[in-house]
Amino acid sequence: MVPHSTGHADVDAVLAELLAGVRGTLGPKLVGVYLDGSLATGDFAEHSSDIDLLVVTEDALSDEVVAALGTMHARLATGTSKWARELEVSYIPRRALRRFDPDNNFHPCIQRGSDQLLTEEHDRAWVIHRHVVREHGVALVGPDPRTLIDSVDAADLRDAVVSLLHGWWTPAPTCRRWLDNPFYRSYAVLTMCRMRYTLQYGVVVSKPIAARWAQAALDARWTPLIQAALAWSSDIVPDLGETLRFIDDTRLASKR
């Protein structure tokens, strides 16, 4: 049984299996396990969300332990529940978690849809993740996340958004190929709404809250695009050209 119910029995079952695997593999090296993303901010949607988790360890993990975690994740991904392949999990040592350090930001993680645990760069999006976990994260195991993560101020959040807009979200070459996927297009539009909210107010809110704000605050030309993104439907798909223009417009807004 998972210590904190998400309100979704099938999600809880996968979390319980993951938690048992993490505890069994890490033993005393485990500091805490925290819900991140939509399960933390309260806008989880079964048709579109994944399961974001942060695992905090005492120290950097040895290659042998990372391999054992990889075996555990590969086994978990074979489960019958769709959520078994909807996990996004990062393993970050206690010291590296305290604040974002661009010189110490390669950590083991597994991405949605994958069964492979890889050591990858955790870019400035993790400034935002740290803020979300600190302010909203749910501890499945471990101490209050506020004891592990320093406060992230509005300037740092805005700087992270600007960095991402001029990095990953530059349409070519980094993210352009992803935008051919209509599902990712919806994600992109709603992420732009959330970034604009952060640029405006220096805080992070859920995608639905940011989208409703954007529909009221931004030029009305973007309303149909945002509405299509909120539908998360294969029948109502955000237009690719308008999505690219919305990303460009958000990037321009970040320079003002």
- List, for residues 221-247, the tens digit of each pLDDT value: 999 999 999 998 888 899 999 999 999
Q: Is the pLDDT of residue 163 over 70?
A: yes
- 10 Å CB burial of residue 97 (0-12, 13-18, 19+) is buried
- Of 149, 110, 143, give the one whose Cα is nearest residue 126: 149
CATH topology of domain 9-150: GMP Synthetase; Chain A, domain 3 (3.30.300)
- Give the chain's mean pLDDT: 94
| Every domain of the chain and the residues it spans | 9-150, 155-253
Percent over 90 (pLDDT), the chain: 82
**109 close to 88: Cβ distance less than 8 angstroms:** yes
d(CA 72, CA 115): 9
The identity of residue 198, as a single letter, is T
b (16+ CB within 10 A) / e for 111-128? eeeebebeeeebebebbb
Q: How confident is the model at residue 1 (pLDDT cuts 50, 70, 90)?
A: low
d(CA 18, CA 138): 15
Q: How confident is the model at residue 165 (pLDDT cuts 50, 70, 90)?
A: very high
What phi and psi values does residue 7 have, to the nearest 5 degrees?
Answer: 90, 0
d(CA 50, CA 160): 22
Q: How confident is the model at residue 8 (pLDDT cuts 50, 70, 90)?
A: confident
Cα separation values, 226 from 122, 141, 186, 208, 213, Å: 28, 37, 8, 10, 11
Give pTM, 2 decimals.
0.92
**36 close to 133: Cβ distance less than 8 angstroms:** yes
Task: Copy the structure tokens of residue 103.
Answer: 């010189």
Percent over 70 (pLDDT), the chain: 99
pLDDT tens digits, one per residue of 112-151: 999 999 999 999 999 999 999 999 999 999 999 999 999 9
pLDDT tens digits, one per residue of 11-44: 999 999 999 999 999 999 999 999 999 998 888 8
